[in-house]
Structures are given as structure tokens and as C-alpha cells.
A and B are shown apart, each in its own frame.
Chain A
Amino acid sequence: MLAQQVYIADAAIATAVYLSMALGKPLLIEGPAGVGKTEIAKALANALGTKLIRLQCYEGLDATTALYEWNYPKQLLHLKLEESSSASEAEKEAVIFGEAFLLKRPLLQAITERERAPVLLIDEIDRSDEEFEAFLLEVLSDFQVTIPEIGTIKATHKPHVVLTSNRSRDLSDALRRRCLYHWIDYPSLDKEIEIVRAKVPAIDDVLSQRLTEVIQSTRTMGLSKIPGVAETLDWANALVALRATELNDEVISETTGCFLKDETDVATFKEQFAAD
């Protein structure tokens, strides 16, 4: 299923995704940056032919940006226009706190999706703070939301939830326990070559092999920002754009910026690469 979406899945990922769908439990995916955690959700949404709703987490993320917010300007305008009407206060209230004035944020969107269960991607959950995590637990456990002015909204279709984390902070045990767990590591050489060839079809076989080998060797150099698969693909695309046919020193030094994002890393790389 995932293979059709140009996602090179292994048995472990496939099992985890299958179970998460079969059991209706959220799937927590952890792993280093740039190994394709987010891609899983995208591939899943494509495969299921459903919508991908993404919630990018950050510190201070709260219910008004994650769940819902009232459309205040619209409410105010409406009240102004209705000023002369004879509607009672209760009637006015019922109107401006109706669904037409509700701004649905990702979580509410996911719950109220009518057609079919969407894929809800909660990206980089480790970047949010504990308050949000606790709030999320509540939503994820019963997929219903209570808005004081409207009442309780229950999910029409339980969304497929995928959470990703870079392990920059430890998540609470409660959240972990509620999810199925999967860890993605950097892919093996063969798998990564396969990924490069699938995602950058224009690249030639020798070059893809060579560049993946270089990337794999950089991962053991003890750099501060280890290049992920995303960087491998960036580099492959860059090489294709430059019409490079082989990987010589000149080409490499022109394009190190594609996969090394730190000044000292570049120095370390050059030193060690020359030594090889």
C-alpha cells in the first residue's frame, strides 16, 4: 500500500501503520530529524485517499490555535448590523455563537470531517509544552470536544492519528501509553539508495550509490547536525540540477551546503573525507 505512494516502507513501519488502523490507536513515531516521520502520514493519507490534516506543534500552542476559535471580527460585524433588529439578547447570542462563526482549527477539523476518517498528523509534539500534551490526551482518548457555547461535538469518523517526535523533550508516560510506538532510524545503505532512486528518478545509478555511501559515512563522523534522508534527497536533486555525472571533490565541495548545515561540521567533513 505504502509502496505505491513512493514511500519505501519496511515490515516494521507497515506493521505499525496496520495496527494503528486496525486498533484505532494513535501511532507515535520517533526518530532523528529527517528520516521521513512526517512522510509516513502523507503517504498514509494518499493511500487511503483521504485528507491530511496537519497540526504543527510549537511552544505555547493552545486550544485557540489547535482546536477552535471564535471569529471575533465577524461576530462584531454581525452584532453591529443587527443593532436595529428586535431580536432578543438570547437570540443574538445563539446566532453569533453558531457554527458559522466558528473557526475550526486542525483538531476540530479532524473530528468534524464528514466524508471519511482523515489522517491527523500532529507534527513534532515534543516542541509543544506539557499543558498542550495534557490537553491533547483528552482529545485523543474520546475524540470529542466540548465547546461551552455549542455543546459537545463527537467525531463522526475517528481520525487516523500520527504523532511525530524528535525526542528533544521526553513525552509524558500517559501520552506514550496511549499510542502505539514506532522508532525510525536512519535507513540502511540499500534502503536509502532505493529511496533516492524512487524519489529522484532522474539520477543515475552509479551516482545515487556513491552519494548515498558518502552520506552514510558522514553519519558516523560525529557531526553536530547529522544529515537525514531529507538531506540526501536535497543533495540528489541538487546534483541532478547541476547535471553532475560523477562525485568528485569539486562537486562535493560545491554542494556540501545541501547536507551539512553547520560550519564546524563542514570543516570536520572535509578533514575526514580527505583522509579516506
Chain B
Amino acid sequence: MIEIKDLVLFCRALREHGLSVTPAEVVVATTVLQVIDTSDRDEVFLSLRSVLTTSVDDFPTFEELFDKFWSASPRKLVEREPVVSTRRRNVAPPRGLAFFLENWSPSQVTDSKPINVPGADSAESRAHKDFSEFSHKELEEISRLARRIVRRIARQPSRRWQPTRRGHRVNLRRSLRLSLKTGGELIDLAYKRRRPKRTKLVVICDVSGSMDMYSRLLLQFVYGLQNSFAKVESFVFATALSRITGELKNKTYQRALDRLSSSVEGWSGGTRIGASLATFNDQWLRRIDKRTVVIVLSDGWDTGESEQLAAALSLLKARAGRLIWLNPLLGSSTYQPLTRGMQAALPFINVFAPAHDLASLRALEPHLVL
């Protein structure tokens, strides 16, 4: 026989191992034990499994704990070391961002000379000027571009309808209601139209040393996106991931940068894309769905394991509507994505595009529309 007390302890053990088992499930589980043959181990196992798990991913944990539960006293299970939930794991804050951001201030960039980077072929038009040569004023243009892209995304029609004053389709239900006022004569027509699609955007920007000359401008772009579109989440990473959505939501870019430098701690020369994306998956994957476009901005120089990067990207791709990788180096005609990180990433990317100048960002527009 199974005592209720044991069952409660078992449920608590499951919860500590990350399963979504609330008191409501415990109640159902108790009811279940009343309608099945509790002396049959398999029957108890299958029954409790169908009540207490919500996904096939929970099965191994359940099986393991159930075996222990059945063989040993369940009390032992709960007295294990406090289990840290994997989803909310806090990553130790690395240092160095403040320094990085200080070196970024616009005044220094304004009079910066063109730097010889493997980014773009030198062209006259501003659209082809490499980001590394941009002046403060021209940054405005990037923000404008971001806003335009966002407007375009927000205008895409979905398959759902909403009532409107004017439109192309008659809203029959409403019109009929209205017609009753006039004794059944259809005089005033009500209309409906397609509701705009609810595309969400997640931007994960590489700010490691190798991205220095681009990340400032790309962040400006991200800032533009963030502030003209409600559903944008932004993250930066070098060796660790930080969420900067809150920091970027500011009236001016300068103030956003100030807040970034004071609140985010993290930065160093290296890049660990795989580890950073794995952290992202741990904490944020639940928020990604088929309406989400995920943009990774990085040059793909990874000092970590490329297998980890591949695993993280495949998870991300399975959930996201589209996975876009923007690589500033791709702007160069001689660049080949041969780095190990980039090679590992390529199979999972829907769109692989350059992001070294305005024209390349403009070309991005159609890809962001789901």
C-alpha cells in the first residue's frame, strides 16, 4: 500500500527535480491511487507517470525517482542536498564591461580613422561604408532603419480578425446586430480586418573583443529595435550572457549606455558563444515560440566547444520561428565561414547574412518578416 504521506514526499522530490508538480497534481495522484490496483508496481508507475509528468522530457527523472521511491523509504529522497533549479541558475557575474563601455563613448568614435578590418570593400556611398567608420550623426540613420524594419514587421497580417470601423470584409455578426435597430434592414455595415501578426524578436549580440568595432553600432541597431517595438528581448554576451532589455529601454541611447555600464557586469576578451547560448536556452527558451525571430550577431570566433554551440543552436532552432545569424565579417568578399564555431553553427541557421554596413542591415528587412 502507498500512504498519502509517502506520495506527498514523492511529489515533493519530483518538484525538487524540476518537474511541474503542484498540490493540485498531488490531489489528482491521490485520487488515482484509489481507482487502480496499488499492489501492481507497473500500474502504479504508469498511472502516476501520466499524472505527474507533463512532457516526455520528464520521463527519465520520473523513472529514476520512482525506482528509488519504490525500493527505499521515500523520506530519504527529500533529504538530499537542496537541488538548484537548472532554469534559474545564477551565473557568477564576470567583470570588465564597465571598462569596455567607457571606451565606447561616441566622442571617441566620431573622429576615429577607418580601421583596416576584414569587413567591407571600401566604397564611396555611405550605405557601403563600414560600421567601423561611422560618425555619431550617422548612427541616427541606423535607428531610423531599425524603426522602419519594426514597422514592417508589425504590419504583417495574421490569420485572425478584429472588428474595425472601415475595412474590406463585412463583419456579419455585428452587422446583423446593428440591423435589428432598423427592423432587420441592413443599413449600417460593420467591418473586420486581419489583425497584425504578433512577431517577437530576440536579439543576442556578441560584444567580445573581436567584435569591438561592430558591436557598438549593432547595439545601436538593437537599441532602435528595442525602442520602437514592444516585443523585443535583447541580450549581450562575451564569455557570459546578460539580458539588457531593461537597460536599453531608455529615452536616449547615451543614457541607455550609461545604464548598461553601471548595471551589467561582465566582459572580457574571449568569446564563449556555445556556453552563452546554452545559458540563454536554460533561462529563456520557454519564451521562444514559432512567432519569434531570433537574431544572433556574432563573428563566430568561439573559444569554447563547438559541439556545445551546435547543441544550443539546434534547441533554439527547434523552437524559434526563424534563426538568423548576422556576421559582420561576411561583408568581406574574401571571408569564408571556416572557423570551427561558424562551421558548427551553419546547419541550424535559416538566414546567414552580413551586418557590416547600412545596406546589409537594410537587406535584412524581408527576412525578419515571418
Segment at the A interface, from B7-15, B24-32, B265-273: B24-32
User: Is the Cβ of A11 less than 8 Å from the Cβ of B46?
Assistant: yes
List, in ascending order, chain B residues with CB within 8 A of A182's CB.
50
User: Is the Cβ of B54 less than 8 Å from the Cβ of A181?
Assistant: yes
Which chain B residues numbered 285 to 319 have a C-beta less than 8 Å away from chain A? 286, 289-291, 319
Segment at the A interface, from B130-138, B171-179, B231-239, B333-341: B171-179
Any B CB within 8 A of the CB of A49: no
Any B CB within 8 A of the CB of A192: no
User: Is the Cβ of A23 less than 8 Å from the Cβ of B28?
Assistant: yes
Segment at the A interface, from B108-116, B180-188, B350-358: B180-188
Segment at the B interface, from A73-81, A244-252, A253-261: A73-81
Determine the main DSSP class of A at the interface with B.
helix
User: Is the Cβ of B183 less than 8 Å from the Cβ of A83?
Assistant: yes
Any A CB within 8 A of the CB of B1: no
Our pick among B22, B43, B158, B172 for the contact of A15 (Cβ within 8 Å) is: B43
CA distance A30 to B176 in the complex (A): 42
CA distance A181 to B32 in the complex (A): 14
User: Is the Cβ of B46 less than 8 Å from the Cβ of A60?
Assistant: no
List, in ascending order, chain B residues with CB within 8 A of A181's CB.
49-51, 53-55
Any B CB within 8 A of the CB of A130: yes
List, in ascending order, chain A residues with CB within 8 A of B183's CB.
83, 89, 92
User: Is the Cβ of B286 less than 8 Å from the Cβ of A170?
Assistant: yes
List, in ascending order, chain A residues with CB within 8 A of B92's CB.
none
Which chain B residues numbered 246 to 268 have a C-beta less than 8 Å away from chain A? none
CA distance A177 to B25 in the complex (A): 8
User: Is the Cβ of A70 less than 8 Å from the Cβ of B35?
Assistant: no
Our pick among B49, B59, B176, B290 for the contact of A70 (Cβ within 8 Å) is: B176
List, in ascending order, chain A residues with CB within 8 A of B32's CB.
19, 23
Which 9 pairs between the two chains have the least Cβ-Cβ distance?
A60-B159, A79-B184, A176-B54, A15-B46, A183-B56, A72-B172, A180-B50, A22-B35, A16-B50
Interface range on chain A (Cβ under 8 Å from partner):
35 or more
User: Is the Cβ of B186 less than 8 Å from the Cβ of A76?
Assistant: yes
Shortest beta-carbon distance from A124 to chain B in Å = 14
User: Is the Cβ of B50 less than 8 Å from the Cβ of A15?
Assistant: yes
Give A residues with C-beta under 8 Å from B.
11-12, 15-16, 19, 22-23, 25, 27, 30, 59-60, 62, 70, 72, 75-76, 79-80, 82-83, 89, 92-93, 96, 129-131, 168-170, 173, 176-177, 180-183
Q: Which residue of B lies closest to A179 (CB)?
A: B54
> Can you give 10 contacting A-B residue pairs, CB < 8 Å?
A59-B159, A70-B172, A72-B172, A72-B173, A93-B180, A129-B160, A169-B319, A176-B20, A180-B51, A181-B55
List, in ascending order, chain B residues with CB within 8 A of A80's CB.
184
Interface range on chain B (Cβ under 8 Å from partner):
35 or more
CA distance A23 to B48 in the complex (A): 13
Shortest beta-carbon distance from A28 to chain B in Å = 8
Any A CB within 8 A of the CB of B124: no
Shortest beta-carbon distance from A163 to chain B in Å = 12
Any A CB within 8 A of the CB of B164: no
List, in ascending order, chain A residues with CB within 8 A of B161's CB.
62
List, in ascending order, chain A residues with CB within 8 A of B25's CB.
177
User: Is the Cβ of B50 less than 8 Å from the Cβ of A169?
Assistant: no
Q: Per-residue CB proximity of B62-84 to A under 8 Å, as 1/0?
A: 00000000000000000000000
Any A CB within 8 A of the CB of B38: no
Our pick among B173, B176, B186, B289 for the contact of A169 (Cβ within 8 Å) is: B289
Any A CB within 8 A of the CB of B3: no
Q: Which residue of B lies closest to A60 (CB)?
A: B159
User: Is the Cβ of A19 less than 8 Å from the Cβ of B176?
Assistant: no
Shortest beta-carbon distance from B281 to chain A in Å = 13
CA distance A130 to B184 in the complex (A): 37
Our pick among A19, A92, A130 for the contact of B47 (Cβ within 8 Å) is: A19
Centre residue among A19, A89, A176 by max chain B CB count within 10 A: A19
Shortest beta-carbon distance from B43 to chain A in Å = 6
CA distance A75 to B178 in the complex (A): 13
